[in-house]
């Protein structure tokens, strides 16, 4: 119930500060925690529109898109995040995973190398 109370407070605050991208991000995080993916997406997207360089917003918005298998949409958001945090190994790994899932093995390999991953970029073979 604590999350719902926090959400109510943040929404009240947002009514007073409708242009605050950090509030949109914080509400998105709370909605993500209660697995309301569609609403979280709306708030993260609005936060991103208001502050497209904010690292927390970029990370959270891209993570939601990734979690929802919206990989094509997640790539440019993650790329913007990596411009500010080029050595974030977790994000490099995740972007590599996206490229791998999309069949773009060369790009996946580049990201895995930057991340220092031992992950293979060869296609899975089933016998």
Residue 32's CATH number: 1.25.40.10
In a domain, 123, yes or no: no
Domain count, the chain: 1
Kindly tell me if the per-residue pLDDT of 36 is higher than 80: yes
Q: Which two tokens stand for residue 51?
A: 């502050």
In a domain, 8, yes or no: yes
Domain hosting residue 43, numbered range: 2-65
Confidence class of residue 96 from pLDDT cuts 50, 70 and 90? very high
Confidence class of residue 118 from pLDDT cuts 50, 70 and 90? low
**Cα separation values, 26 from 17, 20, 54, 57, 120, Å:** 13, 10, 13, 9, 36
Average pLDDT, the chain: 93
In a domain, 86, yes or no: no
Kindly tell me if the per-residue pLDDT of 28 is higher than 50: yes
Kindly tell me if the per-residue pLDDT of 122 is higher than 80: no
Rounded Cα distance, 23 and 96, in Å: 30
Q: State the pLDDT at residue 126.
A: 37
In a domain, 105, yes or no: no
């Amino acid at each position: 119930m604590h999350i719902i109370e926090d959400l109510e407070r943040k929404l009240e605050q947002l009514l007073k500060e409708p242009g605050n991208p950090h509030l949109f991000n914080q509400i998105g995080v709370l909605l993500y925690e209660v697995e309301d993916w569609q609403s979280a997406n709306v708030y993260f997207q609005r936060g991103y529109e208001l502050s497209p360089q904010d690292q927390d917003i970029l990370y959270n918005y891209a993570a939601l898109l990734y979690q929802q298998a919206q990989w094509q949409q997640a790539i440019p958001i993650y790329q913007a995040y990596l411009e500010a945090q080029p050595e974030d190994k977790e994000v490099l790994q995740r972007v590599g995973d996206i490229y791998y899932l999309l069949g773009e093995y060369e790009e996946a390999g580049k990201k895995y190398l930057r991340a220092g991953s031992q992950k293979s970029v060869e296609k899975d073979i089933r016998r």
